[in-house]
Structure 1
Amino acid sequence: MSTQPESPGRTGSRAGRIARSTVSAVLITLTCVLVPVSLITVWVHDIALDTDRYVSTVAPLATDPAIEAAAVRRITQAADVRVDGTEVTSDIAAWMQSQGLPPKAGVAIRSLGPQLDSAIDQTVTKVATRFVGSDRFEKIWTRANRRAHSAVVHALTGQGRGAVGVGGGTVTLDVGTAVDQVRQDLVDAGLSPAAKIPDVDRQLVLFQSDQLKKIRSGAHLLDVVGNWLPVLTALLGAIGVLLARRRRRALVTTALCAAAACLVIAVVLVVARRYYLDHLPAQVQSPAAAAAVFDTLLRFLRVSLRTTMVLGVVVALGAYLSGAGRLPRALRGAADRTADSAARWSGGHGVRTGRTGTWVEAHRRWLTIGVLLVVALVFALWNHPTVLTVLLLVIVLLVALAVLALLAADGRNGEPAEHTAEP
């Protein structure tokens, strides 16, 4: 029994299907890898270039207990360089002698210098604590960062100036303005030697890493592609799904794999944070402040990762429930029966949609697609969506689909009753 050779057309068609499936698989895989990378580029780009976003990111640091404690400690150290008990008692003794105090009393006052060291330190610490905890420190912090909102990109790329500085792999917090304010408060309180507090070495080391140079190079590249990589990733994913033979299954796979990739990055961030805090170099003066800065700068990236994970699960679930499986068909059938029951009940009470329901029933598929596109567009245009944004849009989508289902059910159940009443 001889076998007939395959026709050239059939062979070409099979080869085309294999090529499309291969390209689809490659694009979907690339999309899943690029989704978390795109989130990182958006985080770098927006934090660096959006002034309001940057200020809202770093503003909580001004009231963070760890930052406040580290600032108070560093300001006190700066003040202690030139203000000590011996100098203060000498000034007091000289002044009192000029007012006619006996020399023996001056000697006695000078002997109190060592005992006054602790009292002076406590006074400086008290004034510094009061200043750091006041609104003045918050206003100085916010104003300085608004004027130089490139501080975070400076921390990542080494470019620009701001309250947060980078040099030699070290991230520092400039407490110079705070030192100036505390110095003036001490002078106003009558401690005149505080005017001699020096203007040097007023940097608080928050972060130190030998790999910072490599991080800055990568951050600069991410900042350059920040505007285009998310769009490119979405296009690659859409093309990959459209080229797939089973598009619904491809969409489910893409959504779940993208969510899984974001989960991996989130776990990596947790591990990296723990590793860094467990291996802090000696240059970091406050581990708690380092943790606060780490968490603050990465807060929006973590929010974006969680949002994308929830969105991926929602999209995958929606695509699955719209399929031809037994469970999806059963759920859709139950929803339609519920809508029909509601339509018959409303019809029995004189509530009819007339031609509107009939028209919705005839165009329900396209109306559903339109609602999905509108919701997707709103999400795409939403400025920095969160998990709450996704849940809110899901609720809006479900309400819109429920309204369409009720209108379509009234169109199905209302027409026969109208024809029966005509004769």
Structure 2
Amino acid sequence: MDEPPGPSSAPGTGGAAGDGPPSGTERRHRAGRIVMSTVSAVLITLTCVLVPVSLLTVWVHDIVLDTGRYVATVAPLATDPAIQDAAVHRITQAVDVKVDGSAVTSDLAAWLQSHGLPPRAAAAVKSLGPELDDAVNQVVTKAATEVVHSDTFATVWTQANRAAHTAVVQVLTGHGRGAVEISDGTVTLDLGTVVDRLKQELVAAGLSPAEKIPDVDKRLVLFQSDELARIRGAAHALDVVGNWMPVLTVVLGALGILLARRRRRALVSTALGAAGGCLVVAVALVIARHYYLDHLPPAVQSRAAAAVVFDTLLHFPRIALRTAIVLGVLVALGVYLSGAGRLPRAVRGRADRAADSVARWGYAHGVRTGRVGTWTDAHRRRLALAALLVLALVFALWNHPTVPTVLLLVLVLLAVLVVLALLAASGRVGAGNRSDG
């Protein structure tokens, strides 16, 4: 009797498992897998870092340079209470109507006393000097408030921000001059037109000293930072990269996932890592906001106005970061639930059983899908993938999507999946009843 072949006689195995060193081909394959896994990990990590950076490049290159979108964003600030209060305070300071109440009341008391007014009454008239100063200040403040709340201030504000992209580019690059000026890290808004209007209002109201208001500094400081030069450098770098950064990020992420041994897990890791990177940047922006407002230089007259301007300038990046965080979590959740784990299988099985129950109930009540249901059952995965790709394309073409946009598309996808599940279940129920018959 021939003896069975020994372990070493197995062709192409290089010996039984654990016997002898691996062959050259196996070593090359193992080394190749290690290299691919390493490259995949590097690319996925780089993608997670570049996702928030890409959002900033889109903001700098696209949103910041879009006049219409920026004007639409900052135009409501003309009616913001913090901006209006700061403008009223600065305009009142600039107008600074000088009325010496004490001198006026003293002259009036002397004149009245010369015409027989008792000394006690004359002293009472003299004491009205401070009240007269307060009354004049109240008149000026009231007039300034009316001007700021009128269409004049809104027009000046809109005109100053009409070239909003220019204003923000000035903040980020330091180039250019206009209604919004950049100098030594300070961003100011010229209120000269509003002050001139207020002078006319005061003179028309009978406050003649307003005619002597000098031509003084009438600028309202909106933003000040000694780090503006560094911000300019970073903004210039982001502007140069432009819209290529998001494309590069997507390509690197796709390559990292394709090179991974477990692509589903790699996709989940990439989505969660990108969401985590965006979360870190979002938290950094919150910290930067608090730090800036807690260290405002004396040149900034209103902390509330500075906060409003800061929030407005960073409105789009914050929304984009939140959107990326939500999208990353939802993508990771969706990929996980589509996997082969125990929990995903249980969830899908329960959903299919629920769809089968609905289909059987419908079949019993005369609801039949016929060949449509059978065809859907046969092509369900392809149809679901097609729906996912279409919604992904819609998201990619959406002009600056937000969190509600992501949630809307997810709801649409879920609705499509529910319809496909019901049609497929109806097809299975109909086919089963036909075979039984």
Question: TM-score w.r.t. structure 2 length?
Answer: 0.86
The change in CA–CA distance for 1:288 and 1:79 in structure 2 (over 3 A counts) is: same
Match among 138, 143, 147 for residue 159 of structure 2: 143
1:17 paired to 2:27: no
Preserved contact between residue 99 and residue 209 of structure 2 (Cα < 8 Å): no
Structure 2 match to 1:268? 284
Look up the SS of the partner of 1:173 in the other structure.
Answer: strand
Deviation of 1:356 after TM superposition, in Å, equals: 1.2
Distance (whole Å) between structure 2 residues aligned to residue 342 and residue 64 of structure 1: 54
Aligned residues: percent identity? 68
Q: CA deviation at 1:113?
A: 7.9
Tell me whether 275-284 or 251-260 shows the greater mean CA deviation: 275-284
- CA-CA distance at 1:403 after TM superposition: 0.6
1:194 matched to 2:210? yes
- Distance between the aligned counterparts of 2:164 and 2:332, measured in 1? 42
Equivalent position to 2:371, from 339, 350, 355 = 355
2:155 is equivalent to residue 178 of structure 1: no
The worse-fitting range, judged by mean Cα deviation, of 127-136 and 20-29 is 127-136
Match of 2:253?
237
Q: Map 1:23-172 to 2 at 5 A.
A: 23-80=39-96, 83-86=97-100, 116-172=132-188
Correspondence for 1:298 = 314
Asked if structure 2 preserves the Cα contact closer than 8 Å seen for 1:85 and 1:113, the reply is no
C-alpha distance in 2, partners of 1:5/1:148?
Answer: 69
Q: State yes or no: 1:366 paired with 2:410.
A: no
Q: 1:138 & 1:187 partners in 2: Cα distance?
A: 22
Q: 1:166, CA displacement in angstroms? A: 1.5
- Distance in 1 between residues matched to 2:91 and 2:308, nearest whole Å: 19
Contact 1:62 1:141 in 2 (8 A): yes
Q: 1:366 to 1:64 in 2, by over 3 A?
A: same
User: Aligned equivalents of 1:144 and 1:317: distance in 2?
Assistant: 46
Q: What does residue 96 of structure 1 align with? A: none
Residues 39/77 of structure 1: CA separation in 2 closer, same or farther (3 Å cut)? same
The CA distance in 2 between the partners of 1:406 and 1:200, in whole Å, is 75
Gaps of 5+ in 1: 94-100
1:72 Cα deviation after fit: 0.6
Match among 256, 273, 279 for residue 257 of structure 1: 273
Q: Deviations over 1:185-227 (max 9, x none)?
A: 2233233443443444111123222111111111122122231
Which residue of the other structure, out of 337, 343, 361, is the alignment partner of 2:359? 343
Q: 220, 224, 229: which is aligned to 1:208?
A: 224
Q: Which runs of 5+ in 2 are unaligned?
A: 1-7, 9-14, 116-121
SS at match of 1:85: coil
CA contact (8 A) 1:28 1:240 kept: yes
Is 1:282 aligned to residue 284 of structure 2?
no
C-alpha displacement at 1:112, in angstroms? 8.6
Post-superposition CA distance 1:56-98 (Å, at most 9, x none): 2212321222211111111111111xx31159x99xx9xxxxx
Deviation at 1:4, TM superposition (A): 4.8
Counterpart of 2:419 (choices 399, 403, 411) is: 403
2:142 and 2:135 map into 1 onto residues whose CA distance is 10
Q: Which residue among 341, 350, 355 is the counterpart of 1:334? A: 350
CA contact (8 A) 2:70 2:164 kept: no
C-alpha distance in 2 between matches for 1:298 and 1:367: 40
**TM-aligned CA deviation for residue 116 of structure 1:** 4.1
Q: Which SS does the other structure have where 2:181 is aligned?
A: strand
1:48, 1:220 → 2: CA distance?
Answer: 12
Q: Distance in 2 between matches of 1:262 and 1:410?
A: 43
- Offset at residue 136 of structure 1 (A): 3.0
Residue identity matched to 2:218: R
Kindly provide the CA deviation profile for residues 248-306 of structure 1, in whole angstroms up to 9, marking residues without a partner as x: 10011111111111111111112111112222222222122111111221122211111
Mapped contact 1:85–1:120 kept (Cα < 8 A): yes
User: What is the CA deviation profile of residues 284-329 of structure 1, one whole-angstrom value per residue up to 9, with x for unaligned ones?
Assistant: 2212211111122112221111111111110110011001000000
Partner of 2:189, secondary structure, is strand
Counterpart contact for 1:145–1:162, Cα < 8 Å: no
Q: CA deviation at 1:246?
A: 0.5
Counterpart amino acid of residue 241 in structure 1: I
For residues 343-382 of structure 1, give each alpha carbon's deviation from its aligned partner in whole angstroms, at most 9, with x where no partner exists.
1111111211111111111111111111111111111111
2:273 equivalent to 1:223: no
- Give the secondary-structure state (helix, strand or coil) at the position aligned to 2:242: coil
For 1:46 and 1:68, the matched residues in 2 are separated by 29
The residue type equivalent to 2:91 in the other structure is I
| TM-score in terms of structure 1 length | 0.89
The SS at the match of 2:425 is helix
Residue type matched to 2:25 in 1?
G
Amino acid at match of 1:132: V
Deviates more, 1:116-125 or 1:265-274: 116-125
